[in-house]
Structure 1
């Protein structure tokens, strides 16, 4: 099963319609989509606006591929579950978001294993045509490595220099 998610904040009709068009052209009936408050009405893919967290997590764990906006939650979840993900960024210039942070996320993850960055709808279709050959990233764990925890603890436990300590103390007192 392929799972499409647009997130919970905004519709993303451009992504939903591109996937629906691809599914219709290839007679695919294995796509389930969380579409949020969409205006586009798909004809081929199964959709729902929202679903509770547990039901959505179950869908994610059953998926062989995820398609999503360039939201960090979707990317990290796919990496945690060891599922390949195709992302298409909302374009703020098209009024799909408030700013260009999703475009920046797409650029940042473009070459990351298991994350496949679609530049546009045509590229999305090309990636979907290769869906069976897309590989997942190395699976993330929910815990930080011990070496990172030790480094962070060392930083936290370092005493502040006197000059910075007095600034912090004044700030804490509201001065």
Structure 2
């Protein structure tokens, strides 16, 4: 199953429309979306506008692939669960967001090798087909839900130094 999530703040019609167009080419792969409905009538999958946290967890965990806007909440959740994710950043030029921070986020996360990114609808459709054709579809990178021991020790050392200056 593919789980599409567009966040809870604004509709993302460009992503929903691109997914609806490519859905018939996905050999019957089930698709579920958590997204605001727009004026566009989706024909090839179901959309749930407001999903309980339990339902969201269920769909996220059951999905073979997450398709999303470039929201950090979704990206981090996918990385923690080692879920493959394909993001299409919301863009200011389409009035999908107040800035292009999602583009910047997606670009950096892609450079780090953490996520798959499409920068337009056609690339989204092409990458989706390619990802689903892969025999071994896994997340590109896994992160822990907790800070690493190295980070914790670094913070502790920093606090000790600051504490010694206060004496």
TM > 0.5: yes
* Matching residue of 1:81: 81
Q: Where do 4+ consecutive residues of structure 1 move more than 6 Å?
A: none
Which aligned pairs between 1:1-175 and structure 2 lie closer than 5 A?
1-26=1-26, 28-132=28-132, 133=134, 134-159=137-162
Deviations 1:94-135 (A, max 9, x none): 111111111111211123435111010010011111123243
- Between the aligned partners of 1:93 and 1:32, the Cα distance in structure 2 is 27
Gaps of 5+ in 1: 166-175
Deviation of residue 27 (structure 1)? 5.1
Deviation of residue 161 (structure 1)? 8.6
* Structure 1 contact 83–114 (Cα < 8 Å) conserved: no
Deviations 1:27-60 (A, max 9, x none): 5351100112433221001211020112101211
- Between the aligned partners of 1:112 and 1:159, the Cα distance in structure 2 is 32
Give RMSD over aligned pairs: 1.8
- Between the aligned partners of 2:149 and 2:88, the Cα distance in structure 1 is 34
Structure exhibiting the larger radius of gyration computed from Cα positions: 1
Deviates more, 1:140-149 or 1:24-33: 24-33
- Between the aligned partners of 2:146 and 2:26, the Cα distance in structure 1 is 40
Q: Secondary structure at the match of 2:111?
A: coil
Deviations 1:132-159 (A, max 9, x none): 3243123211111111101111112223
Deviates more, 1:70-79 or 1:152-161: 152-161
TM-score, scaled to structure 1: 0.85
